[in-house]
Amino acid sequence: MNYTKIEKSWISLDGGTIGMVLDTEGNRFLRAEGDTFGLTGEIEPGLFPLSAGNAAALRSKIPWLTPQPLGLKTSAGTGDRLGLATPGHVLAFEGTGISPVFAQQSVRENVRTHRTPQQVMDDAMWGVFEMGWKEPWGADGDHLKTPEDAKSFFEAGFTFFTVDPGEHVRKVDENAPEAQLKDALKDFDFEQFGTKLETLLESYTAAPLPVEGVSCNRLDILTALQKYGKAILHVKKMFTVISDLHHGREFDFEVSVDETDWPTSVFEHYFIANEMKRLGIRWTSLAPRFIGRFEKGVDYIGDLKAFEASYKLHAAVQKHFGTYKISLHSGSDKFSIYKICVVLSDDKVHLKTAGTSYLEALRVLAMVNPGLFREIYTFSRNRYDTDKVSYHVSAEFAKMPDPEQLSDAQLPALLDNFHARQALHVCFGSVLDLYGKEFLAILKKNSDLYDQTIKKHFDRHLADFIAGK
């Protein structure tokens, strides 16, 4: 077998040199010269697989292969459902000054892709090694719901924990009178919350709130408490569990309430932050749900002027506390709002994308293997109504182009069609179950094209996040 050296990956370590090579199918291997560096599973003299054990062995010798907390630096999470996108992500982040979160996956995505936190971590790490990326990078366990979720990501070396307390958020009748709201709080654990109801109400009404443009009355406070009180207690529990695991070491902690049925009001944002602070929670980013629609895979849908006015108030709350970034979830392709967020938040923003690299992989497939892509598109189109259930999407089957009517040359353009794009986006799990193996093999073989395609796509995403632009 002939192997080609991947030059960027090669480094000298004590005792020899090590780097990555690839075969004619695009499969990657480690090649060690002078020493075996504790690698195992030797395939031929000096050639080793990209195994979990070898990932751990390299991490113990090469410091930049371990992710780090990123604090308040402007950052972006890439997500990579296929485990092959990091080299392209590295190309896009190089020279931008934006801190990358190369490993990022939610529990839900891990279930759908049958991957473990350790696999997600190792796949990102191999990309970091291959590309010789030596700057800090993060690893985000996304939408964690239980202490067990958090633990499994911690054990795999994740440094960024996104807690989603959505299951503890309560819907509230916005027109309920005070007596009814108070009654609904009867079973609320004020002791755990560390305050009495009257004391809490008093703390918000005794003086005007310290953020210009943000105010509240007793009903607003009772409503916010009923909506988010239990969620905040859950966040506190998750924070305590994750802090205990770290024994004083730093980590990034994000709180996301972006998957509620209503936008987070500015007062609710203030209330959540203020109460979390009072309870001793320290967080590096917060993801409110903003007005308008943040649908998967497409630009912001809504009135941009109204968004800007509302975001300005959210940013004022953020600046009042001054200790966290605003995190933009479902953040891919929201080109029309990036600048607004970056400017108003003084660069303290985190962009979170998850499925967009998968869509770029499909774009590559449409270019190099139209036959398989056509099958996947046909399948996704038929599957859409089933798989869309847990997603914010509004594409309609009737508006998705009929694959029978399209020539091969027209297929890549489906990735730019609103309806086709959302269908392809939400069906990733089902598609990977059926076509994953073949799809991955094609991507490996065309990795240069995939890297360049990802870079081009992320260049557009990152442009507004580059400082001073």
Contact map string, positions 271 to 310, toward Zn ion, x by CB under 5 A: ----------------------------------------
Alpha-carbon span 350 to 327, nearest angstrom: 4
Binding flag, residue 329, Zn ion (CB under 5 A): yes
- Closest CB to Zn ion among residues 55, 107: 107
Residue from 469, 352, 297, 314 nearest 99 by CA = 352
In 96-230 the beta strands, taken as DSSP E runs, fall at: 99-106, 138-144, 160-163
Q: Which residue is nearest to Zn ion (CB)?
A: 329
Judged by CB under 5 A, the stretch of 90-98, 166-174, 203-211, 328-336 that binds Zn ion is: 328-336
From 142, 275, 295, 333, the catalytic residue: 142
- Closest CB to Zn ion among residues 31, 234: 234
- Closest CB to Zn ion among residues 123, 254: 254
DSSP string, 260-311: SSSPPPHHHHHHHHHHHHHTT---SEEEPPPSSB--TTS--BS-HHHHHHHH
- Closest CB to Zn ion among residues 104, 223: 104
129 contact partners, CB below 8 Å, separation of at least 6:
9, 20, 58, 62, 65
Judged by CB under 5 A, the stretch of 74-82, 304-312, 329-337, 374-382 that binds Zn ion is: 329-337
Judged by CB under 5 A, the stretch of 59-67, 218-226, 325-333, 426-434 that binds Zn ion is: 325-333
Count other C-beta atoms under 10 Å from residue 272's C-beta.
Answer: 24
- Closest CB to Zn ion among residues 241, 354: 354
Alpha-carbon span 37 to 121, nearest angstrom: 21
Residue from 47, 38, 55 nearest 124 by CA = 55
Report, in Å, the least distance between residue 299 CB and Zn ion.
17
The SS3 of residue 142 is: strand
**Residues that contact Zn ion, how many (by CB under 5 A):** 2
Count other C-beta atoms under 10 Å from residue 340's C-beta.
Answer: 18
Report, in Å, the least distance between residue 335 CB and Zn ion.
19
Report, in Å, the least distance between residue 259 CB and Zn ion.
6
- Whether 41 and 54 have beta carbons less than 8 Å apart is answered as yes
Q: Is 360 assigned a catalytic role? A: no
From 122, 149, 254, 451, the catalytic residue: 254
- Closest CB to Zn ion among residues 112, 381: 112
Judged by CB under 5 A, the stretch of 191-199, 254-262, 293-301, 310-318 that binds Zn ion is: 254-262
Report, in Å, the least distance between residue 160 CB and Zn ion.
13
User: What angle is formed at CA 241 by the lines to CA 238 and CA 247, rounded to 5 degrees?
Assistant: 135
Q: Which residues, numbered 385-414, are part of the site for Zn ion (CB under 5 A)?
A: none
- Closest CB to Zn ion among residues 26, 331: 331
Q: Is 254 assigned a catalytic role? A: yes
Measured in whole angstroms, how far is the alpha carbon of residue 344 from the centre of its chain?
22
Report, in Å, the least distance between residue 267 CB and Zn ion.
22
Report, in Å, the least distance between residue 143 CB and Zn ion.
6
For tokens 């993801």, what's the residue? 287
Report, in Å, the least distance between residue 151 CB and Zn ion.
21
**DSSP label at 389?**
T
- Whether 275 and 232 have beta carbons less than 8 Å apart is answered as yes
User: What angle is formed at CA 464 by the lines to CA 460 and CA 468, rounded to 5 degrees?
Assistant: 140
Footprint on this chain of Zn ion (rule: CB under 5 A): 258, 329
Q: Which residues are catalytic?
A: 142, 254
